[in-house]
């Protein structure tokens, strides 16, 4: 039986921290489905299509990764995909309360699906999509925190200049 995990999130946009979790997760699972939550109520910088494109380009180097999007309950999506695990990255202590709540609610909704937490590499402990977006919006250098395609797309979105150009 294939060990399949869902790695859900907003991925607005994908960062090197996310890629670090995917890489670590691949040592535990045969397949990781990176699932972008399609939530029209939440304001995002990138469309789901743009986020899929950036994730696809950033994960071609891995085998066993699929990119998808979902709406509705995560545990229902996991069941549809025959996944028994939800993968989440844990950074600093500040992530803990929300992640704990999410995992317990998901367990209440479906006891068959387990949440697996992986620690991000120390390098990425303070990176998040939101802080990266803020830095990029003011022309900050974010080149060592995101894949190249994301750096380009962020600067394109904000009309700022990538350091490498
Ligand atoms: O990267 P994020 O924004 O922290 O990811 C949050 C996400 C997508 C994992 C979470 O909001 C989610 O799973 N939403 C789908 C609806 C759901 O099942 N919520 C949890 C139980 S109410």
Nearest alpha carbon to residue 9 among 76, 87, 65, 62: 87
70 falls within a domain: yes
47 falls within a domain: yes
152 falls within a domain: no
94 falls within a domain: yes
* Alpha carbon nearest to ligand 1 atom 7, residue: 9
31 falls within a domain: yes
Q: What is the model's pLDDT at position 152?
A: 96
Q: What is the model's pLDDT at position 133?
A: 97
Q: Output the six-digit token pair for 127.
A: 């990176």
What's the total number of domains in the chain?
1
| Distance, CA of 149 to CA of 70 (rounded, Å) | 23
60 falls within a domain: yes
Rounded to two decimals, the pTM is: 0.96
| Distance, CA of 76 to CA of 51 (rounded, Å) | 22
User: Which one of 10, 41, 71, 88 would you pick to mutate in the ligand 1 pocket, going by the greatest count of ligand atoms within 8 A of its CB?
Assistant: 10
DSSP 26: T
Pocket of ligand 1 (CB under 6 A): 8-10, 37, 73-74, 102, 105-106
Q: Note down the domain range covering 83.
A: 4-125
Catalytic residues: 18, 42, 91, 129
155 falls within a domain: no
Give residue 102 CA to ligand 1 midpoint distance, Å: 7
CATH number assigned to the domain comprising residue 17: 3.40.50.620
Beta strands in 10-132 (DSSP E): 31-37, 65-70, 85-90, 114-119
Give residue 74 CA to ligand 1 midpoint distance, Å: 7
Q: What is the model's pLDDT at position 163?
A: 65
153 falls within a domain: no
Q: What is the model's pLDDT at position 164?
A: 54
Report the chain (165 residues): mean pLDDT per 10 consecutive residues: 97 98 98 96 96 98 98 98 97 90 98 97 94 95 97 95 63
């Amino acid at each position: 039986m294939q060990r399949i995990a869902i790695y859900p999130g907003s991925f607005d946009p994908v960062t090197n921290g996310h890629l670090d979790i995917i890489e670590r997760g691949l040592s535990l699972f045969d397949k990781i489905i990176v699932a972008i939550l399609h939530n029209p109520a939440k304001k995002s910088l990138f469309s789901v299509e743009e986020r899929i494109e950036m994730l696809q380009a950033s994960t071609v180097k891995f085998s066993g990764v699929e990119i998808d999007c979902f709406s509705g309950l995560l545990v229902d999506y996991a069941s549809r995909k025959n996944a028994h695990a939800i993968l989440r990255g844990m950074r600093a202590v500040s992530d803990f309360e929300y992640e704990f709540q999410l995992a317990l609610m998901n367990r209440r909704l479906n006891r068959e699906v387990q949440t697996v937490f992986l620690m991000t590499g120390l390098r990425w402990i303070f990176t998040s999509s939101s802080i990266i977006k803020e830095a990029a919006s003011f022309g900050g250098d974010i080149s060592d925190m995101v894949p190249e395609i994301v750096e380009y797309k962020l600067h394109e979105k904000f009309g700022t200049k990538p350091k490498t150009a």
